[in-house]
Structure 1
């Protein structure tokens, strides 16, 4: 360990493993450390089942749960959008050769007191029980606008510049009622709150297009999930890093990030120091550079029945928009099963999660728990996690810190930060890269306009 590296990555969560893989492929000498004996960090998959019970300080599971080694339970389960950033990143880097995916069977939204399929095209809109006859027609016209809108062609804007017109104005233009706005913004565009309503419509249009494009790839839903659990994803990027010369050390504590003149110069573990020009890490490794930004409450449920009103789906996602249950943030329900090799035969794993708003976090999950099969939940594991965000962007200190995982059950909020950090750190220290290579990566992954702007500003800061 006592040698010099371009970068040291601390923690083996998905975000950190993405960074490690990208940097190694780009030619940087990378040391990747984790204080734990397993991959995944906060987002690990627990196996065997006995380890999950032990983590929550519970007695070992009885024989009714089957063999413990048949379980791989995600601590923070999330799905991949079939045409989203993470899938494109997996394809671009070749990590897909280490993984096998299965389509999630259903995408649902809670509205008007019941579960309904999320309508994403004309046919589904006309069949949906979320809307009345006239509202279906208005929503159909809105979907046509979204699909036809081309940022390069003002004729498709319907007299509304998408870069300046608030999304609320677009909804009003098409006469969509509050219920339709709810499932459009939260189940199609996948926003966590209603702040998007006052922002330019372009991003919302792009998000809805992403949902529709992802749905068209596999038909049942826009979501994918890796066989054997999400723990396979960080391990896939770790293999990529190792192939390109990255060094991995599990069960290796990071006792200190060594600084000189406000910039990182190394990482100390015991008496050893790995010299480096940059550090990439999750918040737990650099708490003095982070601030608390809230909490997330999660409940893992082991079930012997599928979720009702989902056509006995072996996997699904249900989003409960905030206003449907009088909250400020959405509630998310995800479900996977034995068909994904994450549970014993006949068993299901559901996760209910949301952003904490009161001093009774578990009670906030009740609207989601009410959707689970009566008598079917055989064990629950509840956790409340602090959410941390870095206090700066890392361009001065060269410590690039990811954010804690949010309450969502999809990965579209996960890839943005690693891509930003990858680019921001790209030209610091010794330059091993060509701009064209990374520009092609960004094109392949299709980062959103806001991320691309932030990336460009990072480059400007470094060069000027």
Structure 2
């Protein structure tokens, strides 16, 4: 009787057959749903949560803590693999979830901080910002998602080196005005940017368009920068604050991903194209008002306009499989209703049952048949993240800013970059006079990642019972840093990176360790074309002819 009552709490869904069913409303899943709907596919988008965004959501402060703990491992063993059950016409394989967040530490240091305030909107996958010329921005303009979003400019970016915080010039004027650069450094940086612009075909009229040789383009970017005789400070800015390198590019042993010169030049092109793209966002970066959780919601709205059906608070309990070969056929909801589709996309919380096999095979196949769409980091690679709430800005003259800590800048054993983004109440993520700071770094294990984050936090903030282990960083006087702000609340946590897998049952990735969404969009686009090789991404969408209307969304 109780099961019947529980089932009656869920609505019946009609129709019962779709081209695509999507489980979870994270950003990759939402882009796929919107793209499929735009291509004329019938789409059902489900989420067991009462909110949109899944692992790309923005939360109220108390809800943020609750979500982390709800996805924390409660047992040392993983759930056993499900065995399909014979249920009439189909076999039924239970759909299980896996814990994704671990080593959670949440601390409150202020009795006056109202953790129940609705003035907070905390990103789960921070820090994240977008280049103004980011492909995701172009996709939002193309798909119409930009009509549901507003952005603010990130005021400035900095790089941390030798105990000092240095501004990253974002234009020729910025280089000339930067008092932290000497005349020689300004000349060297201008000469390099002139070379980069010439290679990219952006030289000024009458200027020389020098092309970088193919040999240099295939060489490590760090070696190319050394050939240009750039000083260490300038080289560090280019590698880690513009090209956004994750690993120590000068240590071939520790570096798991070395940037080639051609990739570095592409990053320079993106950075250059981003500066001043929108008239009211003079810098290279923007951030969505109300938080990153607005992005998946915007794509969900686009999908709904094209006919996608949305049902929140709807758990899926199992997959329906063909009895003979184990091919995917549909899903069973918590209500007991069976729904069918040609394709299924799931967020990374779900474990694809091993009994699912590929319909491309003519013979039975034991185990899953899944195609890896993208080479991701090692399964053991993790992302350590931190969220801090402070009273006062890192830099009194700036509200929203980026700070990059290159490898080895904080600790001798630090082999990956640490990135920090500070946001203020002018992007509506916290109450007035407070600030939210996000930090993240790639790591092999939780201790390594959290040690790097705590060192970065110590360099920026006054920590309760702060250890003198890392010392107090020297501050560049030109940046006018007077005192470090007090830490009121913090959260540290770790999650694994997951692979993108595709077949008739597809698994989307967890948020990666990047500061932007370029890699995520690339893998999502590849997944869409794997599912629908004859379709284009948003074929019916046309970029607005009124560019001022588009720019108006960047407040």
Q: TM-score, normalised by structure 2?
A: 0.70
Asked if residue 206 in structure 1 is aligned to residue 282 in structure 2, the reply is no
Tell me the distance in 1 between the aligned counterparts of 2:115 and 2:49.
Answer: 27
- Residue 277 of structure 1 and its aligned partner are, at CA, apart by 1.6
Alignment of 1:210-221 (within 5 A): 210-218=270-278, 220-221=282-283
Alignment of 1:59-208 (within 5 A): 64-65=113-114, 68-77=117-126, 78-128=128-178, 132-150=182-200, 156-161=210-215, 163-193=217-247, 194=249, 200-208=260-268
Aligned to 2:96: none
Tell me the distance in 2 between the aligned counterparts of 1:416 and 1:64.
Answer: 40
The change in CA–CA distance for 1:199 and 1:52 in structure 2 (over 3 A counts) is closer
Aligned to 2:32: 19
Asked if residue 424 in structure 1 is aligned to residue 530 in structure 2, the reply is yes
Asked if residue 414 in structure 1 is aligned to residue 536 in structure 2, the reply is no
The change in CA–CA distance for 1:158 and 1:70 in structure 2 (over 3 A counts) is closer
Contact 1:282–1:402 (Cα < 8 Å) also in 2: yes
Comparing 177-186 with 281-290, which one deviates more in the overlay? 281-290
- Structure showing greater Rg: 2
The change in CA–CA distance for 1:243 and 1:435 in structure 2 (over 3 A counts) is closer
Asked if residue 437 in structure 1 is aligned to residue 539 in structure 2, the reply is yes
Tell me the distance in 2 between the aligned counterparts of 1:220 and 1:336.
Answer: 17
User: Could you say what secondary structure the match of 1:245 adopts?
Assistant: coil
User: Could you say what secondary structure the match of 1:365 adopts?
Assistant: helix
The change in CA–CA distance for 1:244 and 1:185 in structure 2 (over 3 A counts) is same
- Residue 223 of structure 1 and its aligned partner are, at CA, apart by 1.3
Asked if residue 6 in structure 1 is aligned to residue 91 in structure 2, the reply is no
The change in CA–CA distance for 1:94 and 1:176 in structure 2 (over 3 A counts) is same
CA-atom RMSD in angstroms? 3.1
Tell me the distance in 2 between the aligned counterparts of 1:148 and 1:169.
Answer: 19
User: Could you say what secondary structure the match of 2:456 adopts?
Assistant: helix
Contact 2:35–2:538 (Cα < 8 Å) also in 1: no
Tell me the distance in 2 between the aligned counterparts of 1:40 and 1:69.
Answer: 18
User: Could you say what secondary structure the match of 2:459 adopts?
Assistant: coil
- In structure 2, the gaps of 5 or more residues are 1-12, 70-105, 250-254, 354-369, 373-377, 463-484, 544-555
- Residue 281 of structure 1 and its aligned partner are, at CA, apart by 2.4
Deviation sequence 1:189-215 (CA, Å, 0-9, x none): 122223598554222111111112112
User: Could you say what secondary structure the match of 2:519 adopts?
Assistant: coil
Contact 2:386–2:492 (Cα < 8 Å) also in 1: yes
Q: TM-score, normalised by structure 1?
A: 0.83
Tell me the distance in 1 between the aligned counterparts of 2:384 and 2:245.
Answer: 18
Comparing 31-40 with 212-221, which one deviates more in the overlay? 212-221
Richer in helix (by share): 1
Contact 1:110–1:318 (Cα < 8 Å) also in 2: yes
The change in CA–CA distance for 1:165 and 1:151 in structure 2 (over 3 A counts) is farther
User: Could you say what secondary structure the match of 2:429 adopts?
Assistant: coil
Tell me the distance in 2 between the aligned counterparts of 1:5 and 1:62.
Answer: 51
In the alignment of these two chains, the number of paired residues is 430
Comparing 353-362 with 255-264, which one deviates more in the overlay? 255-264
User: Could you say what secondary structure the match of 2:21 adopts?
Assistant: strand
Asked if residue 300 in structure 1 is aligned to residue 354 in structure 2, the reply is no
Asked if residue 402 in structure 1 is aligned to residue 490 in structure 2, the reply is no
The change in CA–CA distance for 1:403 and 1:359 in structure 2 (over 3 A counts) is closer
- Residue 13 of structure 1 and its aligned partner are, at CA, apart by 0.9
Alignment of 1:42-61 (within 5 A): 42-47=55-60, 49-55=61-67
Asked if residue 240 in structure 1 is aligned to residue 294 in structure 2, the reply is no
Contact 1:295–1:384 (Cα < 8 Å) also in 2: yes
Tell me the distance in 1 between the aligned counterparts of 2:321 and 2:114.
Answer: 49
Contact 1:388–1:404 (Cα < 8 Å) also in 2: yes
Contact 1:297–1:383 (Cα < 8 Å) also in 2: yes
Contact 1:332–1:408 (Cα < 8 Å) also in 2: no
User: Could you say what secondary structure the match of 1:265 adopts?
Assistant: strand
